[in-house]
A = this chain, B = another copy of it.
Amino acid sequence: MNDIDIESLKGIANQLRIHSISATTAAGSGHPTSCCSAADVVAALFFGHMRYDAKNPHYYNNDRFILSKGHAAPLLYAAWAETGLFPVSDLLKLRTFGSNLEGHPTPRLPFVDVATGSLGQGLSVGAGMALAARLDKLDYNTFVLLGDGELAEGSVWEAASFAGIYKLNNLIAIVDANRLGQSQATAFGHNVGVYAERFEAFGWRVEVVDGHDIEEIVEVLGGIGLDDKPLVIIAKTYKGAGVSFLQDKEGWHGKPLSTEEAAKAIAELQPTAKSGAGVVIPAPNHLPEPNNPAPAGYPPINYKIGDKVATREAYGNALARIAEVDPRVVAMDGDTKNSTYAEKFFNKFPARFIECFIAEQNMVGVATGCGTREKVPFASTFACFFTRAADQIRVAGISQANLKLAGSHAGVSIGEDGPSQMALEDVALMRAIAGSTVLYPCDAVGTEKLVEQMAQHRGICYLRTARPKTPVIYNNDEAFPIGGAKVLRQNAGDKVTIIAAGVTVYEALKAADALKNEGIGITVVDAYSIKPLGKKEILAAAHKTHNAVITVEDHYAEGGLGDAVAGDVSADGIKVHKLAVTSLPRSGKPEELLAHHGIDAAAIVKKVKSL
């Protein structure tokens, strides 16, 4: 501790405050007072405690820092500017269109691993990073700075419980308890004992400090890793700290100072401010770099045409298979591994399997965190339960995260369990995620090949699988490129093109057989890649059937396959007729439900005849 110059850190904290105020005043928007409260903590971390190579923010054994309270972005930018990574003059470009110094942090910046700004998500991501450190035998610590307001988010407590269970003593949460939320005081104000009790009950070691006493902050940081619990430092702070007319005052959330106010504030801070330049930042230990190359190929698959295998089971087979040759693959489960068949992976690779229990938000956050550390994380649960993590997935899109999600039990074809267990909106949700890929295979071969594609493709990929067993229809050597589609039936004179995916492919094939007996030919396309859509194949098929298309999907009519096709090819003059689930389902046998909702073979036959 002796080599840390406390007086310097105090000066740096004020320098960070000045930068935060200047930048937000220049931008005309932002959250200067939320920066001021955390400035001492950030100064202590970045210029005293954390071990990292400031010239190389991506260095694999650098301590990680996540600004979960992302609205304090100017403070983070100020800290990195003061390390010398980029000129401090750049800070005045905050929030301008040409700058990567955005209103809330995004990984467009080399020192940001994940986007923040939707509160309560950072701790899960940090837990994923802390777990990855263990898997990679690295000794970096992961620090997550949270606001007190965001402790109301349940996702924080999912992460807290998880970190406690896994005894992640390389994960450190710091709560900037500045008492004031956006529109009013927080529920507990400066009664920080409430937070202390909660974290203790969730398995954490708790230190409560004066968040403006750098000596105290540095001292408790010295206790990291002393026992087997994650550590939370609850820093009692004041919003706007350091500036007389801002400190602890309501009505200043998310407001920049006027030029005059800024000058006045800076005049108060300047006398004790000090640049971070020249401060020697502790270097990380040089441990062996994790060596996890992508595999050159995968073990073969061996299905027989006609074998009945649920796509969810093929997912489990695929995960266990590709993991044999790809040590980057890890898997997360939400206590559904016996239903999603992720247990096939668990049985083979228990050390790379992370049981997240029934906490889907945290599961996705942990997976996202692992993804930032060059793992290839596959998280699986019932497709409908990924909806619980919709915001985490949205933000993962902004993070351009490498994240693989496999949702099982999609659609009414699950049958008796009823509507709460049926994903009927998942495709709409997943299509609308920035940069996402949405895949929906109908058989085991397609599933296996698409899991390979997911592992190879950098980005968010969603795989939709079904509960019922369905026959294998593809040969083992069939290729399933992302963005493709398969023409399963096509003859000259076909009247209409049926575009199906997943279970409805079989209904379309049955309809084709039935119509053939009546002398009516239809084209059947398996649109296994919903985003990007196999537009080329679909257009080509549709043009041959006089631009007449029927889509059929086990999903609500909004935002799914039908809308995807219509949205993509309507401009080309294709007439798209949608068959989809248009009313609230109920329990029943899968075939009863497919019939009731008009997405079975009979409904397709009827629709074809009506055209």
Residues of A within 8 A of B (CB): 27-30, 70, 95-97, 99-100, 102-104, 106, 108, 115-120, 149-150, 152-158, 161, 165, 181-184, 186-187, 194, 197-198, 200-202, 333, 335-339, 343, 355, 357-359, 361-362, 384-385, 387-388, 390-391, 394-395, 397-398, 400, 416-421, 424-425, 428-429, 431-435, 531, 556-560, 562-564, 566-567, 570-578, 583-584, 586-589, 592-593, 596
Q: Are A559's CB and B149's CB within 8 A?
A: no
Q: Nearest CB to that of A116 among chain B residues?
A: B420
C-alpha spacing A533/B182, complex, angstroms: 36
Q: Are B202's CB and A198's CB within 8 A?
A: yes
Q: Nearest CB to that of A548 among chain B residues?
A: B571
Quick one: which of B116, B154, B337, B584 contacts A153, CB cutoff 8 A?
B154
C-alpha spacing A556/B333, complex, angstroms: 29
Q: Nearest CB to that of A390 among chain B residues?
A: B390
Residues of B within 8 A of A362 (CB): 154
Residues of B within 8 A of A564 (CB): 558, 563
Quick one: which of B201, B400, B419 contacts A194, CB cutoff 8 A?
B201
Q: Are A421's CB and B103's CB within 8 A?
A: yes
Residues of B within 8 A of A118 (CB): 384-385, 388, 420
Q: Are B187's CB and A417's CB within 8 A?
A: no
Q: Are A571's CB and B576's CB within 8 A?
A: yes
Residues of B within 8 A of A184 (CB): 335, 355
Residues of B within 8 A of A337 (CB): 183
Quick one: which of B416, B421, B576, B584 contacts A566, CB cutoff 8 A?
B576
Residue among A149, A358, A397 with most chain B CB within 10 A? A358
Q: A384-B394, A420-B118 are in contact. Are A558 and B357 (CB under 8 A)?
A: no
Q: Are A400's CB and B559's CB within 8 A?
A: no
Quick one: which of B100, B201, B586 contacts A200, CB cutoff 8 A?
B201
Q: Nearest CB to that of A558 among chain B residues?
A: B431
Q: Are A152's CB and B187's CB within 8 A?
A: no
Quick one: which of B108, B154, B560 contacts A154, CB cutoff 8 A?
B154
Other than the known A398-B419, A428-B558, A558-B559, what 8 A-B pairs have Cβ atoms closer than 8 Å?
A97-B592, A97-B593, A104-B419, A108-B586, A152-B358, A387-B394, A567-B576, A570-B575
Q: Are B425's CB and A432's CB within 8 A?
A: yes
Residue among A95, A564, A572 with most chain B CB within 10 A? A95
Quick one: which of B339, B357, B391 contacts A385, CB cutoff 8 A?
B391
Residue among A102, A362, A397 with most chain B CB within 10 A? A102
C-alpha spacing A520/B432, complex, angstroms: 34
Residues of B within 8 A of A339 (CB): 182-183
C-alpha spacing A243/B338, complex, angstroms: 24
Instruction: Rank and list the top 4 A-B pairs by shortest CB-CB distance, nearest first.
Output: A154-B154, A117-B420, A97-B588, A559-B559
Q: Are B103's CB and A418's CB within 8 A?
A: yes
**23 residue pairs bridging A and B, Cβ less than 8 Å apart:** A95-B588, A97-B596, A100-B586, A103-B587, A106-B418, A118-B388, A152-B161, A152-B335, A153-B158, A154-B361, A182-B338, A183-B337, A183-B339, A186-B357, A387-B391, A398-B584, A428-B429, A428-B432, A428-B559, A432-B559, A558-B567, A570-B574, A573-B575
C-alpha spacing A61/B391, complex, angstroms: 37
Quick one: which of B358, B390, B584 contacts A119, CB cutoff 8 A?
B358
Residues of B within 8 A of A567 (CB): 557-558, 562-563, 566-567, 576, 578
Q: Are B333's CB and A183's CB within 8 A?
A: yes
Q: Are B587's CB and A420's CB within 8 A?
A: no
Quick one: which of B416, B424, B584 contacts A400, CB cutoff 8 A?
B584
Q: Are A97's CB and B589's CB within 8 A?
A: yes
Residues of B within 8 A of A391 (CB): 384-385, 387-388, 390
Q: Are B420's CB and A343's CB within 8 A?
A: no
Quick one: which of B194, B198, B559, B588 contacts A563, CB cutoff 8 A?
B559
Quick one: which of B338, B357, B420 contacts A395, CB cutoff 8 A?
B420
C-alpha spacing A135/B527, complex, angstroms: 52
Q: Nearest CB to that of A194 among chain B residues?
A: B201
Quick one: which of B28, B153, B343 contacts A358, CB cutoff 8 A?
B153
Shortest C-beta distance, A572 to chain B (Å), equals: 8
Residues of B within 8 A of A156 (CB): 154
Q: Are B152's CB and A416's CB within 8 A?
A: no
Shortest C-beta distance, A598 to chain B (Å), equals: 15
Q: Are A429's CB and B425's CB within 8 A?
A: yes
Q: Are A149's CB and B433's CB within 8 A?
A: no
C-alpha spacing A596/B96, complex, angstroms: 13
Residues of B within 8 A of A153 (CB): 154, 158, 358-359, 388
Q: Nearest CB to that of A438 among chain B residues?
A: B558
Q: Are A420's CB and B104's CB within 8 A?
A: yes
Q: Are A558's CB and B390's CB within 8 A?
A: no
Quick one: which of B30, B115, B417, B556 contacts A29, CB cutoff 8 A?
B417
Shortest C-beta distance, A179 to chain B (Å), equals: 13
Residues of B within 8 A of A201 (CB): 194, 197-198, 200-201
